Amino acid sequence: MPSHSTSKSPPFCPNARCDSRTNSHPWRFKKKGFYLRDQKPHRVQRYQCHHCRRNFSSQTFDTSYWLRRSELLEPVFHRLVSCSGLRQIAREFQVSHHTIQRLSEKLGRHCLLFHEKIRPRSSPIEPLVLDGLRSFEHSQYWPMDLNLIVGPSHYVYGFNDAELRRSGSMRPAQKLKRQILEKKHGRPDPQATKKQVIELLARVVPKGGSAILRSDEHQSYPRAIDGLKDRRFEHEQTSSKASRTTRNPLFPANHADLLLRHSSANHKRETIAFSKRRQGALYRLAIWVVWKNYIKSRSENRRDAPPAKMLGLIRTAHSVPTVLSRRLFPDRAGLSGWVERCYFGRIETRAIGKCRAHEARFAV
């Protein structure tokens, strides 16, 4: 007999195209046997949706769905924010570094959805600090900025990426190599920073909203603000040469940059653990943002609350297991624009091309 959903039952049909998502009748499903497996839980209940007849199981709603080594999710999360390289983590757990890379991507996608679910949607209640963390993908010929918006609470409101053209002092041979690479792969858009800052600000500050925005004197920032006529910004600029103390208005962003480089092997100076793709760096950044916003104490000496609790966005600090307790579904998150492209792995690295398409893997 079909049954109605209860608190211990599957909460909804995992089929994104099921009409039970749109019609007003209560969702119904029935139990359809179980299967046994070596890992815990050893007995997995199977179900069938009464509306679309799709089969699924209790595992469909678990973050460890489709994982052969599900016990690695939590320790890999910790190591990805503790400055380990993918191969270092792989050696510890005696698995291929490709396994760790896939886990990092999976955790990154989950963390993107986790942050999207909790982040505030109204005008921010504190000033925003905007900054770009300079790193590179693939080789030093392909620099990029990771744009971050942080508040004095140390909450990271959002982030995105902007590819840049290699600049600064170069030897003649390096200039020639840049010329050859740009002829082959194309030149990064000179407007990338402006366009991406517009995208980020529009995501963090809603239409009709307003915010105090603090930044350095990057020339693209005022141009980006000019491009957002339907929001009001009070822009305060501070020279990047000003001493980087706690009194500096840009301190939240400076502190986030420090912590990100301290925690992430791919952003260390002179490292061989740099990101081969910008997409990989963004997934890893999403994990760091969830750790910083929802898990980590603002001050580890005082063991106080994480920034999201200070802002009243969560009731208690999260732990890695609570962050990973339930699978989040992209079709229920209302993704659009850059976040959707990032989630589905569509951020292209010029020197390599497209990433593996992830969409096919989400069909249940």
Nearby residues of 361 by Cβ (< 8 Å), 6 or more positions away: 66
324 burial (CB, 10 Å; 0-12 / 13-18 / 19+) is buried
At its nearest, how many Å lie between Zn ion and the CB of residue 48? Answer: 9
At its nearest, how many Å lie between Zn ion and the CB of residue 5? Answer: 12
Nearer to Zn ion, 56 or 142 (CB): 56
43-49: strand order across its sheet: 3-4, 28-36, 43-49, 55-57
With H, G, I as helix, E, B as strand and everything else as coil, classify residue 233: strand
Distance between CA 52 and CA 28 in Å, rounded? 10
At its nearest, how many Å lie between Zn ion and the CB of residue 58? Answer: 16
Residues 38-57 that bind Zn ion (CB under 5 A): 49, 51-52, 54
Nearer to Zn ion, 9 or 88 (CB): 9
At its nearest, how many Å lie between Zn ion and the CB of residue 10? Answer: 10
- Select from 10, 15, 100, 197 the one that contacts Zn ion (CB under 5 A): 15
DSSP string of 107-139, one letter each residue: HHHHHHHHHHHHS--S--SS-EEEEEEEEEBSS
Distance between CA 326 and CA 331 in Å, rounded? 15
Phi-psi region of 263 (alpha: psi -120 to 50; beta: other; left: phi over 0): alpha
Nearer to Zn ion, 52 or 170 (CB): 52
Token pair 């509306």 is found at 51
CB atoms within 10 A of CB 274: 20
153 burial (CB, 10 Å; 0-12 / 13-18 / 19+) is buried
Nearer to Zn ion, 49 or 130 (CB): 49
At its nearest, how many Å lie between Zn ion and the CB of residue 109? Answer: 23
Nearer to Zn ion, 6 or 301 (CB): 6
Nearer to Zn ion, 53 or 171 (CB): 53
Nearer to Zn ion, 29 or 141 (CB): 29
At its nearest, how many Å lie between Zn ion and the CB of residue 17? Answer: 8
The span of 16-24, 154-162, 164-172, 177-185 binding Zn ion (CB under 5 A) equals: 16-24
The span of 8-16, 115-123, 139-147, 349-357 binding Zn ion (CB under 5 A) equals: 8-16
Q: Which residues of 110-124 are buried (b: 16+ CB within 10 A; e: fewer)?
A: bbbbbbbeebbeeeb
At its nearest, how many Å lie between Zn ion and the CB of residue 51? Answer: 4
Nearer to Zn ion, 230 or 331 (CB): 331
The span of 14-22, 173-181, 262-270, 325-333 binding Zn ion (CB under 5 A) equals: 14-22
| Position 13 contacts Zn ion (CB under 5 A) | yes
At its nearest, how many Å lie between Zn ion and the CB of residue 12? Answer: 8
Residues 53-82 that bind Zn ion (CB under 5 A): 54
CA angle 358, 286, 65 (to 5 degrees): 45
Q: Which residues contact Zn ion (rule: CB under 5 A)?
A: 13, 15, 18, 49, 51-52, 54
